[in-house]
Amino acid sequence: MELVIQPDADSAARLVALLIAKALREKPHLVLGLATGRTMERVYAHLVRMHKEQGLDFSLCRTFNLDEYIGIPASHPGSYRFYMNRHLFSQINIDPRNTFLPDGMACDTQSACRHYEELIAEFGGIDLQLLGIGADGHIGFNESLSALRSRTREKALAPSTIAVNRTLFDNPAEMPSRAITMGVGTILDASNIILLVTGSTKAEIIAKAVEGPITSMVSATALQLHPRCRVVVDEHAATRLQAQEYYRWIFATEPEWAEYR
Ligand code: GLP
């Protein structure tokens, strides 16, 4: 795991967008794992800008989102499909047929979950998975006690997650309490992972996630097991990290980061 501290939320998001753009230029058929949430909006804004200004090409890229609510259609403004269309897909040259989210409207949720895993495998697995973190340390919708080897499945959301995420709904009562999410094991199968965390409200949980003991109570701690996981945080989220000096030293001196300094 490598951790990079950036001055503010926008430069953190910009760095993540640059890392994604580099991967896409190196491999136009990139299989990209995507995340939702407020934190990601800036990343998608930067990717859209790079597409418009520099011609960043998504025409061959395939995307798989981490999760989707159960019981609201793609046309619902609270659905993750709606979020992705709005913030990214409608503004870049991606083929909509190459964009995948779990089917939260499926009659048979279990077989929809199995199908999602099969689809990811058919495309050769995820090359680069983008992640945010929930207030309780969830990745995707892997709430506390999610098995560290779990696969795509239906999850009941924690009351704390419902309380935070319902503010994104025009009518909070419409926020579903269940979702389909890639499992922690599904996420760990990605070849590369980038976790983006910004803001002081995430300072405590990101310190637990990267420097605390691995525990299913905090799903994000499982990322410590991944051989190619990069974590990008802003100064506000970095305040509780114990090894800040080391992280800053790595970013300032390692050749791999030279082009981003
Ligand atoms: C939701 C998503 C997560 C995301 C989290 C954080 O719960 N399922 O994938 O990481 O929100 O969102 P935010 O960036 O709004 O804090």
Task: Provide mean pLDDT across the span 22-51.
Answer: 98
Q: How much is the pLDDT for 102? A: 98
- Closest by CA to 160, choosing from 180, 184, 179, 177, is 177
Q: How much is the pLDDT for 202? A: 98
**Ligand 1 pocket, 219 CB below 6 A?**
no
CA of 54 to the centre of ligand 1 (A): 29
Task: Provide mean pLDDT across the span 74-99.
Answer: 98
Asked if residues 208 and 218 have their Cβ atoms less than 8 Å apart, the reply is: yes
State which amino acid sits at residue 85: N
Q: What is the pLDDT of residues 163-215, one digit of tens each?
A: 999 999 999 999 999 999 999 999 999 999 999 999 999 999 999 999 999 99
Residue 47 pLDDT class (50, 70, 90 cuts): very high
Residue 22 pLDDT class (50, 70, 90 cuts): very high
What residues form DSSP beta bridges with 155? 179
Q: For the chain, what is the mean pLDDT? A: 98
Residue 158 pLDDT class (50, 70, 90 cuts): very high
Active site residue 67: yes
Q: What is the CATH number of the domain that holds 157?
A: 3.40.50.1360
**Ligand 1 pocket, 132 CB below 6 A?**
yes
Q: How much is the pLDDT for 92? A: 98
Name the closest-CA residue to atom 5, ligand 1.
134
Total domains present in the chain? 1
Q: Which domain holds residue 222?
A: 2-260
Read off the tokens for 252.
């300032």
Active site residue 122: no
Asked if residues 243 and 212 have their Cβ atoms less than 8 Å apart, the reply is: no
CA of 8 to the centre of ligand 1 (A): 19
Q: From residue 205, how far is each of 35, 82, 132, 217 by CA, in Å?
A: 18, 28, 12, 11
Task: Provide mean pLDDT across the span 146-161.
Answer: 97
Residue 65 pLDDT class (50, 70, 90 cuts): very high
* CA-based end-to-end distance of the chain: 19
Task: Provide mean pLDDT across the span 135-155.
Answer: 97
Nearest-atom number in ligand 1 for the CA of 40 is 14
